[in-house]
Amino acid sequence: MKLHTILSLMFFFAFAPACVGLKTNNQDNWAFTTSSSEYNRDSSQLVRTAAVSNPPAQAAPAAQAARVNAPASGRLTLGNYRTSYPITKVVAQNFTVVVDPGHGGTDPGALGSGLRESDLTFIIGVLLHRKLSESGFRSTMTRWDDTFKSLENRVLVAKNQKCDLFVSIHINAAEATNACGVEVFHKSHLTRSIRNSSLITTSRSAAASIGNELKLIQGINWRGVKQDARHLYVLKQSPFPAVLVECGFISNANEGRKLGDIRYLDEISNRIYQGILSHYRSR
């Protein structure tokens, strides 16, 4: 084999992972991509390339309230964790809260700090659902394991449950790694088929109540309660009061460390629960 051919092959294999996308173990292999499957976001998200395992079979409806399926090994899971936060008992069986853990299955959402958005939203969602149910609310979720759910399906689940408040859980990401903080968006638009303006007023009130609790988390950067300027599908197309909580930036090193701690995720779920409780009492 000629010398220049050997040198060419040596150069190719030395730099192949970076040049042609061969599998690599580099944990800092970031990719800037646009997510079109979730909430019609206008801006791109900073995500890390990662293989997505096939989602497990979904639980039968009768068993959903009793169990949740853990994702593949090596990822953050709820395990046997149980909250230590006190639960306030209320008579609220006539008030239905639908908890929507964003992303799932083939759509992991944003990735960063060794974490997947879909795992974090699921853990926060389960903890929130448990608090609401134990408190006395009628509560359900749009997904019970690591499976993909379309935006239309999420809204349909809430419609079928005669939802009184829809709470979508998400984790933020940005190209600027110093971006951080928590924010709450609320339903801000009506459609041809959704004309009840009181939905916007109630959504704003619920978002404010949740925000008043979230901003009490120690060391948090509170970004505020915001209108839905991006016309997010699950807010705009919901014929019921709806909010979307962005629980921190997975692309920020400091917040990423916090989001990797189950206790911190539980604190977020508790603040959202307390906000819902305050909103319910103030109706």
* Domain residue spans of the chain: 88-283
Report which of residues 7 and 118 the model is more confident about: 118
C-alpha angle 188-191-193 in degrees, rounded to nearest 5: 135
Task: Examine the pLDDT at 230 and tell me if it is beyond 50.
Answer: yes
CA distance 41 to 37: 9
Closest CA to 104 of 153, 176, 166: 153
Task: Examine the pLDDT at 136 and tell me if it is beyond 70.
Answer: yes
Q: What's the fold here for domain 88-283?
A: Aminopeptidase (3.40.630)
Query: Do 81 and 130 meet the contact criterion of CB atoms below 8 Å apart?
Result: no
This prediction's pTM: 0.77
DSSP 233: H
Mean pLDDT of 125-149: 97
pLDDT recorded at residue 11? 40
Percent of the chain with pLDDT strictly greater than 70: 74
Q: What is the mean pLDDT of the chain?
A: 81
Mean pLDDT of 141-169: 98
Structure confidence by residue, pLDDT tens digits, 29-88 = 222 222 333 333 322 233 322 222 233 333 333 333 333 444 555 688 888 999 999 999
C-alpha angle 122-101-189 in degrees, rounded to nearest 5: 165
pLDDT recorded at residue 72? 54
